[in-house]
Amino acid sequence: MRVLLKIIKYQFHDLSRSKWIIIYTAFFFLLSYSLFTFNKDFSRVLISLMNVVLIIIPLVSTIFGTIHYYNSKEYIIFMLAQPIKRSILFFGLYIGLAIPLALSFVVGISIPILFNLGNISGGFDVLIFLFIAGFFQTIIFCSIAFLIATLNENKMLGLGLATFSWLAFSAIYDGLILFLLQILQDYPIEKISIILSMLNPIDLARLLVILKLDISALMGYTGAVFQKFFGSSLGTILSILSLIVWAVIPFFIGIRKFSKKDF
């Protein structure tokens, strides 16, 4: 445990000197502050934040996580020369990156909200789910980034795969689903839609936030089905469990590959 804490502390110290973490925090601060300045409707602000959060966080977590792993290569080799378990090193590197990124997101959005508490009425439950969605997007795509970087020695190939994975989850997957639903529109596909949505962490997080905003009526009959499932306590619990699984599976595959990797 002491070794793990030292690794995490070093990662925190290293990232605290990175201008990209400061830029990342400042981006969310300026975004939130601008939205509150030009729009007094808290629900619309949350929708706008959600749309940006679910694009930017996966992108930054994937790309920055991959670059951070490759840039830590010499540090990893040095640490492996010490009597330390590879799993502890991998876990320390991961936590030391994912937590600062998640904190940057939370701090960047929270400060403008604190400044505008007097203009906010209700919607705090939606805000909590927005924070939950942002947190899970961070740890999920950091896991995916570390897995990709562990599997590929070539930095350019790793960055290419990281970018493609983000693009696949954020755009390509939705396009394929819409195409499939269009083909099967004459069949009862509501349950299939729920299952397909749970196979994409970005869609899953988006649904959790949207359905808390009570605008599922805009999604038609399928939206009503989503509201019945995801809007219930059981649906919310299963959705969060699904997000946890999305974070855990790439992480443990990454640890397994890292433990057997020849440096």
Q: Consecutive sets of 10 residues in the chain, 263 residues long: mean pLDDT of each?
A: 80 79 91 84 80 91 93 87 88 92 92 77 76 93 95 91 92 81 70 77 83 57 57 74 92 92 75
Question: What pLDDT does 251 receive?
Answer: 94
> In whole angstroms, what is the distance from residue 37 CA to residue 32 CA?
9
- Domains of the chain, residue spans: 2-260
Measured at the CA of 86, the angle between CA 84 and CA 88, to 5 degrees, comes to 75
Each as own residue / partner, the long-range contacts of residues 170-175 (CB below 8 Å, 24 or more positions apart, any chain) are 170/54, 170/55, 170/58, 170/59, 170/202, 173/200, 173/203, 174/200, 174/203
Say if CB 91 and CB 4 are below 8 A apart.
yes
- The tens digit of pLDDT for each residue in 146-194 reads 999 999 988 999 999 999 999 999 888 878 877 877 787 766 666 777 7
Q: Which H or E element spans position 159?
A: helix 155-167
